[in-house]
Structures are given as C-alpha cells and as structure tokens.
Structure 1
Amino acid sequence: MTFEEKPEGNGSLVDESQQYLGGRHQANGKPGTSGKARLSARQEANAKCGLPRKSFNRYTWQEIQRHSQETDQWLVINRKVYDVTGWADRHPGGRQVLNHCAGEDATDVFRAMHPDPDIVRLYLKPLLIGELAPEEPNQERNKNSRLVEDFQELRKTLETMNLFNANLGFFFLHLAQVLILEALAWVIVWHFGSGWLITMFISFLLTVAQVQGSFLQHDMGHRSIFKKAKWNRLMQTFVTGHLKGLSAKWWNNWHFLHHVKTNIYSKDPDISGCPLFLVGDFQPIQYGKNKIKYIDYEKQHLYFHVVWAPFFLPVYLNMESFLLMYRRRDWEDIAWVISFYIRYYITFGPFYGIYGTMLLIYFVKFLESPWITYVTQMSHIPMKMGNKENQDWFSTQVLATCNVEQSFFNDWFTGHLNFQIEHHLFPTMPCHNYHKVAPLVKSLCAKHGLPYVNKPMLKAFGDIARALKKFGALWKEAYCMHPEI
C-alpha cells in the first residue's frame, strides 16, 4: 500500500530548544511546546520547503539495513522510516552522527539527544519515506525488545517526575564559582605581586576555574537552560569560547559522536587514540597480528600518565579546535576564542607581559589536562568496547560506562560525571538530578541481568592504568605469536 503525505518542514533535524545548534539552521519560532512556538516553526518550515508531495511505502528491517552507506542513509524513528541522505551535510551535529545510525532504529538515540523533540518532528516530515511493515517488530530482531520497552517506560516516568527540567539557580551558581575564582586570582596577583609562590597559587585557582568551566560547558552543551534557544546558544558559546578558549561547534560535533556510539571503534572519537594507544580486547590483537608497532604498546600505561594526560588538553584538543575553526572559517567561534586570550592579556598582562601571560595560560591548561583526562576516561577505558555492534540504547550505554561513588567531593570534583551511566542514558537531563535517577536505572539493570558498575574514585583512576596495561599485554602476545607478514 502507498500513502501520500505533504511535507511540512525544511528537512532539518534541528531542535531549536537546544543551545548547541547553529543559528543558520534554526527556525525563528520560539522553542517549547506552546501553540505559538509550533505555529512559528511550522510557518517557517513551509515557507522554506516548497518540496513536492512524496509517496512512501512499508519496509522490512532487511530492506532498511541495506541503506547504511554514507551516500544512502535511512533511519527508523518510532516505526517511521526517514531518508536523511540529503540532510546529512547540513546536520548541526555533524554528518557522521547520522551516518553512524544509518540502517538502524534510532528512536532512543533521537529522543536522548533532543531535549524537546516535538519541534524536530515538524522538520522530519520532508524526510519521511515510509514506515515499518505491520508484521515487523519495533526494533531490529537482534535487540531485546522487552528491555527497550522497559527503558522507554522508565524515560516516560522520569519525564512525569520533571527530572529533565533544569534548575537555573544551580547553573548560575556554577558559573559564579568560575568567575569568583578567576576574580580572586587577579586580586591576589594585584595585591601581592607576581612572585613564584603567588604565580603557583593563582595557577591552582585558575586551574580549578578552568576545570569547573569545562564541566559547566559540558552541561550546557547537552540541554536547554533558558526558554529561548538564542540565549542557550549564547551561554554555551560564552562558556566554551570566552571562558575556555575552545570552539563550541567543534566540541558539539566531537561529543555527540561519543554519545551516539560510545566505545565503538572508528565511531567514538574518545577511544581513537591510535597510533598512540590501543584499547579494548579487539584493537590490540589486530595490531599485534599485523605487526603494527608505532610505539612499545606494552608500556602504554606509562605513556598515558607522562605524555597523554598532561598534553591532551593544551596540545591535542586545542589543535583540533583551531583546525576545525580554520577549515570552516567559523568567524563567530574564532571571535569568542580570541576574546578568551584578550581577557587573559588584559587581566594578567600588566603583571606578566605578553609572553609571560601566554605561558600562564598554557601552564594552567597543562595542570587542567590530567584532571579532565582522568575524570572522563575512568568511566570508559576499562569498560566494554566493540566494533560494529548495534545493540539497544540501554545496553550499549550501560556496558560502555561505569559510575564513581557519590559524595559531595566526588560530585564537585567530577562535575557530576561520576554518574556516567545516567549521563549517557539521559544526556539532556540536568546533572543535579542524576542521583535521583540512579536507583531506578540500577533496578532496571538488575531486572535484565546487566552489570551496574559503581566504583570508589581511586579504584576508577587505577583501572585506567590497569586496563591499558592489559591491552598492551594483548598486543605483545599477538605480536610475538604471529610471524612477519
């Protein structure tokens, strides 16, 4: 049977309630669920669309799974089939996010990454080409349908409890913490001078401010804080660009890929350490069998501490951010990043000079880097890593992440990323609500026999080195056992 449907949108997957989406891709209507907002979005979509009426059919999972190439991408969301091939290049989250989900049921990942998907559904309509055949299950047959249903029911429960609503005061207090620490550092150097001891002390204060700024940036990159999308986007670019000196768009593209396909080789940039590091049970063996040896991977757990951890942020991430801004000629992000350096020169230039201020900036980033690296990697490197697995959303995130025990210090020290399981299951949930959700998630894991890993922080840090040492041993064994190719 063939159906007719008139598209009502411009093909955008943009949720205008999300602060991280580029303005040129957003609708002008007000975000939210009000009739006025919906009407405004619909009017703009219709004005821009002008697309012909299209027919759509019913498809089997076998047919859909064939459309998983970069030049041919279909997605399934709530049993509806969408052809997103033509939209991929304009997707604000990056084309790779869509490509990684092509040929799959993307219902849960779509819902997870959009705080308010109602507006987005208006823009999905031009991409609609059909629906699943009535005899087809809601998800691919390799997925645990009962687990998927239970997880979706859990999400509805959390929405009813209003746990996805952000506490504006919490985020302003977090921002105030960052600004107060930076102001205190300036007052100290202004009053006591720029001696070595004072410089070390203010470097510590600025490092804490930068780390907490990273956690704030992370939170604001996932969810809507304000009702108006333009204020959300302004706040995130202010924190990421002006307070951190990084490109907001680069961070969004990088981080969305990490969330969509966590711990999947070639899809999650957070585990793409090759050729410096080999991770997981698969990658080291493949490198060993093929006699690939860029470094002595048997000692990679040592390199991680002395090379990767301190230089990850000031060298690698900064270089990636600058390169993306340059390639895209992203003048808005460039202006925000320049304002970060101008602010430092105005604040500390009179005491340290131009070169001294530059050294201060990168010394602070050098101190910040291990803190951020350990906090972000302790929940992923020791966990399961896969190749091209297509599991349900709940299983994928639970198996690829772990938590660190809750305490006031742990919550502050990690920016609530000690609740990594809950964060990955519900990326748009405000971090101050993770602890309320954790018991429900743990109960669902127990019901379906999935491990809910919760560690002391020191053990979690130690597991990074232990895991890297184990992966290095796997590489060494495969390298020595197989003859030269």
Structure 2
Amino acid sequence: MAKETEKKYITNEELKKHNKSGDLWIAIQGKVYNVSDWIKSHPGGDTVILNLVGQDVTDAFIAFHPGTAWHHLDNLFTGYHIKDFEVSQVSRDYRRMAAEFRKLGLFDNKGHVTLYTLSFIAAMFVGVLYGVLACSSVFAHQIAAALLGLLWIQSAYIGHDSGHYVIMSNKSYNRFAQLLSGNCLTGISIAWWKWTHNAHHLACNSLDYDPDLQHIPVFAVSTKFFTSLTSRFYDRKLTFDPVARFLVSYQHFTYYPVMCFGRINLFIQTFLLLFSRREVPDRALNFAGILVFWTWFPLLVSCLPSWPERFFFVFTSFAVTALQHIQFTLNHFAADVYVGPPTGSDWFEKQAAGTIDISCRSYMDWFYGGLQFQLEHHLFPRMPRCHLRKVSPVVQELCKKHNLPYRSLSWFDANVLTISTLKKAAYQARDAANPVVKNLVWEALNTHG
C-alpha cells in the first residue's frame, strides 16, 4: 500500500494538454511517457505519434510493436500514471486475443511464403527477359509485359510485408528486402510507402488524416470532400474547384482507366518525397534503389524493335498492375469514413469500420498477397500473411460479440459496392445549382460512415 501512495497521477484531461512540439506525452496501459525527443528517431516516423499524442495509445502500440519494444518504454516514463484509467471491453478482448496469438507464435513464425514469392518473382523476371530478348513476335512481347506487371504486383507484396517487418527477423536483411522489392524492382520508394502507409493504418479512413483516401481532384469517396477539406497529412487544402467537380462527376466511369495508370502517380509521389526538404530515412539508399530501377527498366524497353511495341509493352505492364491498385481501393473506398484525427480509445472499432475483406479460396491467397484479409491485417500488421486466414474466424467472432461490422465480399461484389459509392458522390458533384455543402438531406440519405 505504501508503494501505491507514492505513485503520481494525472487525469486524461491533463494528458491531453501535452500535445504540442517539445511537450509530447502518451499513455500506455495507464503509464505516461514523454516522447518529445524520441519522436525524432522513431522508426515508424513522426506522423503516427503526432496523430495520437495526448491520449492513451495502448492498442495501437500493441498492434505495431513487437514484445521487445516494451523494454524501451522505461527510459521514456514520466513517473505519472493515469488517474481515471479505464479500458473498454472491446480493447480488453483485443489485447487478450493479441496475447493468445503471440503465445501461439503467430507473429514469430514467418512461414515459407516469402521464399516461394521471391522464387516466383525470379522465375517471372527470367521469363520477361526471355520474352523481350529472345523472342521476336509481338504476342511474346505482350506476354512478357503482362508477366512484368504480375512481377510488380508480387514484388509490391514483398515490399509491403518487409515494410511491416514480417518476413525476416534480422532488421538488416529486412531492410535489404525492402529496397530490393520496392525501389529496385518496382521503382517505388520504400521510404515513401512507409511514410504514407503507417499514417493510413493509424488513421484508417479518416478523410483528412488518411492519405490513401485523399485523391482530389480525381476521386472523392465522400461528399465531405466537397467542403475543400484540409489534409492533415500533406498539410495542404484539398480544393474542390470546378476542375475537381468535373472530374469527380464522372469518377465512376474513369475509375478503371485511372487505375491502369496508377503506377505513374506512385512514381511521381516517390520523387516528390525524395526531392523534398522533409527528413527521409536512408535517402541515399532510396535514391540508389530508384536509380537501379530507372536503369534496367528503360534498357529492357529499349531492346524492343519499335516505338509502337515499346509503348504497348509499357502500357500492358502498367495496366496489369491496375489489378492491385483496384484491390487496395476495394478494401477501403466503400467502407465507413469520418472526419478528424484518430483516437486511441476505439482502435478495434475504427479498423472494423474502415475495412472490407475480399473473400476467396485459399489457393488464391498468393494473388491477393494476404491483403484480402484487410481487417485482420489492420488489427495485426506484424502478423505474417500465412496466418491471417487462420485468425479470421476469431476476428469475426469478436466483431459479432461487440456488434461491429465484419464485411467480407467477393471481388465482384466489392467492385459493385465501390462503383456505387463513387457514383453517389459523382451525382452529387454534378449538382452545380445547389451548393453541395448545404445539401444536408442528400448527405444524410447517401453518405457512408
């Protein structure tokens, strides 16, 4: 009892006040930590911390960090505890489930998926080289282009998994896999991916905090974008001007064509980050990896006999990757959305509301890269994809217990729902006579989230 009286306490309201630069506090399991200096060297970047400072972040910490990370917290402890510390029943069940999965070794057992995928990528790369260098028919060149697109899809899955540190236990090997599969093979910076993807996981389907939903002027998944929201991620206004209104008005028609060229946007985003003044981890290595890609890919294309063939080779390879871009949007575009920062007290609820799974047979898991289990991946981003199908029934039961949505749709049905979501917003964008922000009746009847 004497030790208990020695504890120092603050309330949640007092914790909220520590949310400014140089004074950043968070709480984990009722203990308060000062992350003002640690944020500068946080492996996951500063954005994820800045979005949650001043509140309890226990569930997010459990989701993103291995067990070894708990030992580092001692150096950041302020000596304070939360006086009015409470845990919701949903969070209790989530933490219990995570602990059980950890005991079963589901986070540590990586399986052999990575080895199989890398072997598949190597075989496809050989096939691409053979089709371009050893064959003279246009048909063979197009087959090679399709193979290259499929290679990029599978390589992106490896980059994604390595970015979550779920393919190798050794950090150096894992970083090498990131640079090889991301920068060198696909031309997309792993630094850019980690910067945006961590923010996406944390603020899943927040219209102003999640970069994966901020596609103005081309797409708007909600009429709330018509108010010209300010992106808290990019720190700029997402202006809904006449150009945006016109493009969004036809987004349900342009959706698939735009997806065919989605890779170009990723190239642009990569260069914008690497040439920015923002601190970029391993900037030199990222540049080196990108240079590798922009050496071998143009050389490969130049080996084709004519400019028309070169054009169609590039177009076909890009168009095939549209399958992956579509999948990423199916997982979130038609799910629930909200405006505002993420909160640490409803981690499970926000992930369930903002995700849609894609149902498929187990033999198709390789094609979806494990991301068809989107909710499972969001709840346990450190879990290797080979275990996601195993834990899916447990996650479904927990959602059912707490009356939370668990949406698992076929690829076809997910496409229909996504197009329907885009179509609703498109029709409202066409209503130029009535200011969209004042059309509250339509918003109440048609908005999702």
Return the TM-score normalized by structure 2: 0.85
Residue 157 of structure 2 is aligned to residue 215 of structure 1: yes
Equivalent residue letter for 1:454: S
Structure 2 distance, partners of 1:469, 1:433, is: 36
Matched residue, 1:130 = 79
Aligned pair in 2 of structure 1 residues 298, 357: CA closer, same or farther (>3 Å)?
closer
Matched residue, 1:34 = none
Matched residue, 1:442 = 396
> Is residue 428–residue 436 contact of structure 2 (8 Å, CA) maintained in 1?
no
> Is residue 263–residue 321 contact of structure 2 (8 Å, CA) maintained in 1?
yes
Matched residue, 2:49 = 98
Q: How many pairs were matched up? A: 419
| 1:385 paired residue among 333, 337, 355 | 337
> Is residue 131–residue 144 contact of structure 2 (8 Å, CA) maintained in 1?
yes
Equivalent residue letter for 1:244: T
CA deviation after TM superposition for structure 1 residue 434, in Å: 0.7
- String of CA shifts for 1:404-446, please: whole Å, max 9, x gaps: 1121454233212111110111001011111100100000111
- String of CA shifts for 1:217-275, please: whole Å, max 9, x gaps: 11121124333211111122111112111211111111111101100122111001123
- String of CA shifts for 1:64-86, please: whole Å, max 9, x gaps: 12223455422111212122233
Identity %: 26
Structural mapping, 1:4-403, within 5 Å:
57-70=8-21, 72-114=23-65, 116-118=66-68, 120-134=69-83, 136-139=84-87, 145-193=88-136, 195-280=137-222, 282-284=224-226, 292-293=241-242, 294-296=244-246, 297-307=248-258, 309-314=259-264, 316-327=265-276, 330-344=283-297, 349-351=302-304, 359=311, 362-363=314-315, 366-388=318-340, 390=343, 391-403=345-357
Matched residue, 2:414 = 460
Matched residue, 2:441 = none
Bigger mean CA offset, 340-349 vs 178-187 = 340-349
Structure 2 distance, partners of 1:102, 1:220, is: 27
Which ranges in structure 2 are unaligned for 5 or more consecutive residues?
230-238, 439-449
Structure 2 distance, partners of 1:469, 1:295, is: 13
> Is residue 155–residue 181 contact of structure 2 (8 Å, CA) maintained in 1?
yes
Matched residue, 2:381 = 427
Equivalent residue letter for 1:110: F
Structure 1 distance, partners of 2:164, 2:189, is: 15
Report the RMSD for the aligned CA atoms in angstroms.
3.0
CA deviation after TM superposition for structure 1 residue 278, in Å: 2.0
Equivalent residue letter for 1:266: D
Structure 2 distance, partners of 1:347, 1:161, is: 46
Aligned pair in 2 of structure 1 residues 483, 72: CA closer, same or farther (>3 Å)?
closer
> Is residue 31–residue 81 contact of structure 2 (8 Å, CA) maintained in 1?
yes
Equivalent residue letter for 2:284: W
Equivalent residue letter for 2:216: C
Structure 1 distance, partners of 2:241, 2:303, is: 51
> Is residue 32–residue 77 contact of structure 2 (8 Å, CA) maintained in 1?
yes
Matched residue, 2:371 = 417
Bigger mean CA offset, 316-325 vs 373-382 = 316-325
Structure 1 distance, partners of 2:427, 2:320, is: 30
Matched residue, 1:51 = none
CA deviation after TM superposition for structure 1 residue 479, in Å: 6.2
Which ranges in structure 1 are unaligned for 5 or more consecutive residues?
4-54, 140-144
Matched residue, 1:42 = none
Aligned pair in 2 of structure 1 residues 465, 127: CA closer, same or farther (>3 Å)?
same
Structure 2 distance, partners of 1:427, 1:321, is: 23
> Is residue 284–residue 474 contact of structure 1 (8 Å, CA) maintained in 2?
no
> Is residue 203–residue 364 contact of structure 1 (8 Å, CA) maintained in 2?
yes
CA deviation after TM superposition for structure 1 residue 301, in Å: 1.7
Aligned pair in 2 of structure 1 residues 472, 124: CA closer, same or farther (>3 Å)?
same
Equivalent residue letter for 2:329: Q
SS at match of 1:257: helix
Aligned pair in 2 of structure 1 residues 440, 313: CA closer, same or farther (>3 Å)?
same
CA deviation after TM superposition for structure 1 residue 392, in Å: 1.4
